[in-house]
């Protein structure tokens, strides 16, 4: 008898006298490997409503057969069987250790095992549905689950989106990955009652969104205007704007090119979480300087967001230099435009400051004293992150204490560690320690719960991590002598 079956026996014995009230079970797919496993699970947890099964490999045919017994879908063309778990409405088959791009295709046997399980209200599948003719039968099996209210799946080819979701008229939540553009026609085919839509990596035609009248939460790669004729050099009228769903309350854009963000007409202020992405060859010069057109695009995107932004919003501006280029991007005009009385990054930073964003992340910029001074004037910013590949003058850090709403600041310290593989040695900028102490000890902080995070790569050597720990320990000692709570300063690795 497999070990997993033996583990179920005490629960089955307990349920024999009085059914255990357990409603949620999370287990490896090996739990269902034995032929008797479905019956053992049902005897142990007869009241089960949610079953979450995880694996790092493909779900096989024996797994599909077990599903049929649990769901009562093994009847085929004959009389349907009674499900072993009659209360099961939430089924999740996930592969937590695989990246989304590495997920396998949905095995037809698993799709067939789900056929007819109309009692399901939520379904999560860590599998892809490519737009191949062989997958049409699987789509039909899934589209027949008309009781579904929530679906989360891997990659779905654009031609399959409509056939998959149009029959699911009860659907209120849909999440999938699609590295393509979704036209207004595709969006029009989504269920009208959809409340939450996450189309990861997809670029959505904004003209099709207003039809989703129930939508409150939207996540995608970017919003784009519908295709049309090339605009004249001299506009003959005001730029067209596009209506958003009337109930939309939050919108997340994972990779928005600033020049492509359409002008929008929201019905109410939104909570935005936007990554504005600047790419080499499009927004950056060969010398790693911001192009004038990119600066104008950032200002335009900031203006559009400002018109519809609610408190609690996040804006991230990230650069993606070409291979071999330095990570730090200079302002328009290059290094010659850095310094007092020069261009710096003031224009687009001031434009961002006109929004109501609560959180700002900057990644990949060469920030100057003047840039940090501009940032220090952003009245709504509560959380500031000067992230990976950003260079900055340490002596200007105390300027950030002017931010009136600031409660959390994260500062990258990877540049303190030398070596192509960050193996060391460590070289702390001359003014860094004093500037950090001044930032933590600013007179504006008493009574405020400020946190200063020093961020570093999770992959530095143990020796460099120990060296960073020593630096922070010495800074904390100085803070104690200044009468400042040492917990204001933290050393935090980036997520691996």
Q: What pLDDT digit, counting tens, does each position of 290-311 carry?
A: 999 999 999 999 999 999 999 9
Q: Give the span between the Cα atoms of 417 and 467, in whole angstroms.
A: 10
CB of 65 closer than 8 Å to CB of 113: yes
Give 232's pLDDT tier (boundaries 50, 70, 90). Answer: very low
Long-range contacts of 202-206 (CB under 8 A, 24+ apart): 202/177, 202/178, 205/181, 206/242, 206/244, 206/262, 206/264
Least confident interval from 11-20, 167-176, 373-382:
11-20
Backbone angles phi, psi at 52, to 5 degrees: -115, 115
Q: Give the span between the Cα atoms of 297 and 258, in whole angstroms.
A: 5
Q: Give the span between the Cα atoms of 43 and 432, in whole angstroms.
A: 64
Least confident interval from 212-216, 278-282, 360-364, 444-448:
444-448
Average pLDDT over residues 37-49: 94
Q: Give CATH for domain 1-177.
A: 3.80.10.10
CB of 147 closer than 8 Å to CB of 178: no
C-alpha R_g of the chain: 27
Average pLDDT over residues 24-34: 85
Three-state secondary structure along 202-215? Answer: EEEEHHHHHHCCCC
pLDDT reading at 135 higher than 80:
no
Least confident interval from 120-134, 146-160, 448-462:
120-134
Q: Which residues contact 229 (CB under 8 A, 6 or more apart)?
A: none
**pLDDT score for 420:** 84
Helix (H, G, I), strand (E, B) or coil at 184: helix
Q: Are strands 150-155 and 173-177 parallel, antiparallel or unpaired?
A: parallel
pLDDT reading at 55 higher than 80:
no
Q: Residue holding tokens 């989703």?
A: 212
Average pLDDT over residues 212-237: 78
Q: Which residues contact 466 (CB under 8 A, 6 or more apart)?
A: none
Average pLDDT over residues 432-437: 97
Summary mean pLDDT of the chain: 91
- Name beta bridge partners: 311: none
Average pLDDT over residues 17-30: 90
CB of 67 closer than 8 Å to CB of 109: no
CB of 446 closer than 8 Å to CB of 482: no
Give 12's pLDDT tier (boundaries 50, 70, 90). Answer: confident
Least confident interval from 98-107, 309-318, 466-475:
98-107
pLDDT reading at 333 higher than 90:
yes
Average pLDDT over residues 351-362: 98
Cα dihedral across residues 415, 255, 285, 291: positive or negative: negative
**pLDDT score for 226:** 93
Q: Residue holding tokens 């694996």?
A: 55
Q: How many CA atoms lie within 13 A of 412 on its CB side?
A: 23
Give me the residue spans of the domains in the chain.
1-177
Q: Residue holding tokens 């090996």?
A: 30
CB of 205 closer than 8 Å to CB of 185: no
pLDDT: which is higher, 236 or 11: 11
CB of 265 closer than 8 Å to CB of 240: no
**pLDDT score for 1:** 46
Q: Is 268 left (phi over 0), alpha (psi -120 to 50) or beta?
A: beta
Q: Residue holding tokens 């779905």?
A: 156
Average pLDDT over residues 275-294: 95
Nearest to 131 by CA among 186, 198, 58, 73: 186
* Structure confidence by residue, pLDDT tens digits, 455-485: 999 999 999 999 999 999 999 999 999 999 9
Nearest to 241 by CA among 262, 267, 211, 219: 262
Long-range contacts of 155-160 (CB under 8 A, 24+ apart): 155/100, 155/101, 155/103, 155/128, 155/129, 155/130, 155/179, 156/128, 156/129, 157/129, 157/130, 157/131, 157/132, 158/131, 158/182, 158/186, 159/131, 160/129, 160/131, 160/135
- Name beta bridge partners: 218: 197, 251
- Name beta bridge partners: 309: 270
């Amino acid at each position: 008898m497999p070990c997993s079956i033996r583990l179920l026996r005490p629960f089955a014995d307990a349920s024999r006298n009085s059914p255990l009230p357990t409603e949620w079970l999370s287990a490896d797919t090996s739990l269902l490997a034995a032929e008797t496993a479905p019956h053992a699970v049902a005897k142990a947890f007869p009241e089960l409503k949610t079953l979450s099964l995880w694996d790092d490999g493909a779900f096989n045919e024996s797994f599909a057969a077990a599903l049929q017994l649990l769901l009562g879908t093994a009847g085929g063309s004959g009389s349907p069987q009674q499900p072993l778990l009659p209360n099961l409405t939430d089924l999740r088959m996930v592969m937590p250790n695989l990246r989304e791009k590495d997920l396998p295709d949905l095995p037809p046997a698993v799709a067939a095992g789900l056929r007819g399980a109309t009692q399901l209200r939520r379904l999560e599948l860590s599998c892809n549905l490519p737009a191949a003719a062989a997958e049409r039968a699987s789509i039909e099996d899934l589209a027949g689950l008309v009781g579904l209210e929530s679906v989360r799946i891997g990659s779905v080819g654009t031609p399959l989106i409509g056939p998959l979701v149009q029959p699911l008229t009860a659907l209120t939540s849909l999440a999938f990955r699609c590295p393509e553009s979704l036209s207004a026609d595709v969006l029009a085919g989504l269920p009208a009652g959809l409340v939450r839509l996450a189309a990861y990596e997809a670029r959505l035609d904004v003209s099709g969104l207003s039809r989703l009248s129930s939508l409150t939460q939207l996540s995608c790669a970017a919003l784009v205007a519908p295709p049309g004729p090339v605009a004249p050099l001299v506009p003959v009228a005001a730029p067209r704007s596009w209506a958003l769903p009337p109930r939309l309350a939050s919108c997340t854009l994972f990779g928005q090119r600033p020049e492509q963000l359409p002008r929008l007409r929201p019905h109410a202020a939104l909570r935005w979480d936007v990554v504005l992405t600047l790419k080499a060859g499009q927004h950056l010069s060969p010398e790693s300087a911001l192009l004038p057109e990119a600066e104008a695009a950032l200002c335009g995107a900031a203006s559009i967001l400002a018109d519809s932004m609610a408190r609690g919003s996040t804006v991230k501006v990230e650069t993606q230099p070409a291979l071999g280029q330095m990570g730090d991007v200079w302002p328009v005009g290059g290094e010659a435009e850095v310094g007092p009385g020069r261009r710096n990054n003031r224009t687009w930073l001031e434009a961002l400051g006109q929004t109501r964003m609560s959180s700002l992340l900057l990644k990949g910029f060469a920030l100057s004293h003047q840039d940090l001074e501009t940032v220090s004037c952003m009245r709504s910013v509560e959380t500031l992150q000067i992230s990976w590949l950003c260079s900055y003058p340490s002596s200007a850090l105390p300027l950030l204490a002017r931010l009136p709403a600031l409660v959390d600041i994260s500062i990258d310290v990877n540049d303190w560690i030398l070596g192509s593989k960050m193996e060391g040695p460590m070289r702390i900028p001359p003014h860094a320690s004093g500037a950090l102490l001044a930032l933590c000890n600013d007179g504006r902080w008493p009574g405020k719960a400020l946190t200063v995070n020093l961020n570093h790569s999770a992959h530095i050597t143990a020796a460099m991590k120990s060296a960073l720990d020593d630096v922070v320990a010495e800074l904390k000692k100085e803070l104690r002598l200044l009468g400042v709570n040492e917990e204001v300063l933290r050393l935090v690795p980036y997520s691996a």
